[in-house]
Amino acid sequence: MIETWNLGKTFRSPPWPLSLAGRRSVRPVRALVGLSLRVERGEIFGLLGPNGAGKTTLLKVLATLLLPSEGGARVQGADVVREAAAVRRLVALATGDERAFYWRLSGRENLEFFAGLRGFARHAARRRAEAVLGIVDLLSHADEVVGRYSTGMRQRLSIARALLADPPVLLLDEPTRSLDPVAAGRVQAMIKRLSEAEQRTVLIATHQLGEAAAICHRIGILVAGTLRDVMAPGAVGEVGVRQRYHTLLEVQDDRHQPVAGLP
């Protein structure tokens, strides 16, 4: 379903004349280095790693928001560069960016608006907004303005927006960030339901070791832009994931360590 090979992304200094507009020249930053990965249909795959490890960059490449610098990636056989339009019909990216909603509109109105931007007719937009609100358990709050939503409710609304076009692949960037344990548990249960009941493929970037071990079929550990290990929590348990993660973080400055654990 998702496949990358030798994927790399390098961020370089802005070209002239932007460099004359007060922007200092800095060394190129290699956000992803030689990343090869395969995620199967219906799988929840977790990306663990410290800040700056490349998790969000990988999600944005798969969502066609960033172009790879080398290597490549495919989603359901569609190339993220040559067939970007097809990829955008297959994937949806949900982030924790609360500024993405209109806070003076209700949750329902926000979803109907974004459905309209995706080409839904008015009545179809209403039906689809109603459907995804039900999926994320927000129907009882559908007509409240988003400004009154809790952080957890806005996180679920973000996932609802990602589901508007019914994509087979969900890319989730820290979906439980800043949530209390009860709210995080509701989001985690929803993610598992989307995978198990609807066979959606979910790629989730998270800092939460316990969360990754609880809901992911497999976990990849990213350090300094490289994939250092892939493991199945069901085989090694949360303790095994935690031990391996901390071991790899101790060598995070070694960017040339080979990729391990790939299928």
DSSP per-residue string spanning the chain:
-EEEEEEEEEE-PPPTTGGGTTPPP---EEEEEEEEEEE-TT-EEEEE--TTSSHHHHHHHHTTSS--SEEEEEETTEETTTTHHHHHHHEEEE---GGGS-TTSBHHHHHHHHHHHTT--HHHHHHHHHHHHHHTT-GGGTTSBGGGS-HHHHHHHHHHHHTTT--SEEEEESTTTT--HHHHHHHHHHHHHHHHHH--EEEEEES-HHHHHHH-SEEEEEETTEEEEEE-HHHHHHHHHHHHHHHHHTTTT-TTPPP----
pLDDT at 258: 42
- Gap between the Cα atoms of 46 and 40, Å rounded: 12
Does the domain at 2-98+168-249 match CATH 3.40.50.300? Answer given as yes
The dihedral of CA 178, 171, 182, 147: what is its sign?
A: positive
pLDDT at 124: 96
pLDDT at 204: 95
Strand partners, 72: 5
- Taking the model in full, what pTM does it have? 0.86
pLDDT at 241: 85
- Gap between the Cα atoms of 209 and 219, Å rounded: 10
What tens-digit pLDDT sequence spans the chain (263 residues)? 899 999 999 988 666 555 555 556 567 888 999 999 999 999 999 999 988 899 999 999 999 999 999 999 999 999 999 999 999 999 999 987 667 899 999 999 999 999 999 899 999 999 999 999 999 999 999 999 999 999 889 989 999 999 999 999 999 999 888 788 888 888 899 899 888 888 899 999 998 888 889 899 999 999 989 999 999 988 888 888 888 888 888 765 444 444 443 44
- Gap between the Cα atoms of 166 and 122, Å rounded: 17
What is the domain partition of the chain in residue ranges? Answer: 2-98+168-249
pLDDT at 262: 40
CB within 8 Å of 251: residues ≥ 6 apart: 223, 257
Contact 244/212 with Cβ under 8 angstroms? no
